């Protein structure tokens, strides 16, 4: 596994400090927090198996460009509590910028809420 990224050390990182108690001895260990997210964020456009895809390093400097490139979306069916008729509404949310996760931006993507906010 020569091409592994397990031993890469990022410039800025979060470290986990552990106090290990083994065999009556106490040892303090500091380990880097590493997070790997795996999934198909291509809306089914990517055909290669996960093992053949390149990893993408995401950080605070490139987060918006990576998010914009993949443009993830979620499709939900939610109760329409505004109409109060017990029916379900299909909601489609797209995220191309970190600000798209803010409540106001999410509301702007839902026609009924956008109309209430006066953005219609």
pLDDT tens profile 74-98? 999 999 888 888 899 999 999 999 9
The rounded distance, in Å, linking the Cα atoms of 32 and 96 is 29
User: Considering the domain boundaries, does residue 57 fall inside one?
Assistant: yes
The rounded distance, in Å, linking the Cα atoms of 91 and 107 is 11
User: Considering the domain boundaries, does residue 59 fall inside one?
Assistant: yes
Instruction: Report residue 6: phi and psi, to 5°.
Output: -65, -30
User: Considering the domain boundaries, does residue 102 fall inside one?
Assistant: yes
Q: What is the CA radius of gyration of the chain?
A: 22
The rounded distance, in Å, linking the Cα atoms of 18 and 55 is 29
pTM exceeds 0.75 for this model = no
Mean pLDDT confidence for 43-49: 82
The rounded distance, in Å, linking the Cα atoms of 8 and 99 is 30
User: Domain range holding 92?
Assistant: 15-117
Number of domains composing the chain: 1
Flag whether pLDDT at 2 surpasses 60: no
In a 3-state reduction of DSSP, which class is residue 100?
Answer: helix
User: Considering the domain boundaries, does residue 1 fall inside one?
Assistant: no
Mean pLDDT confidence for 16-33: 82
The mean-pLDDT minimum among 5-19, 33-47, 105-119 falls in 5-19
């Amino acid at each position: 596994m020569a091409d592994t990224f397990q031993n890469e050390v990022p410039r800025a990182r979060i470290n986990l400090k552990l106090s290990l108690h083994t065999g009556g001895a106490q040892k303090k260990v500091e380990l880097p927090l590493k997070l790997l997210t795996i999934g198909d964020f291509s809306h089914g456009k990517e055909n290669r198996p996960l093992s053949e895809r390149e990893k993408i390093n995401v950080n605070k400097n490139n987060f918006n460009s990576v998010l914009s490139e993949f443009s993830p979306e979620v499709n939900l069916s939610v109760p329409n509590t505004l109409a109060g008729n017990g029916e379900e509404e299909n909601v489609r949310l797209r995220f191309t910028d970190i600000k798209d996760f803010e409540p106001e931006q999410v509301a702007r993507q839902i026609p009924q809420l956008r109309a209430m906010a006066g953005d219609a």
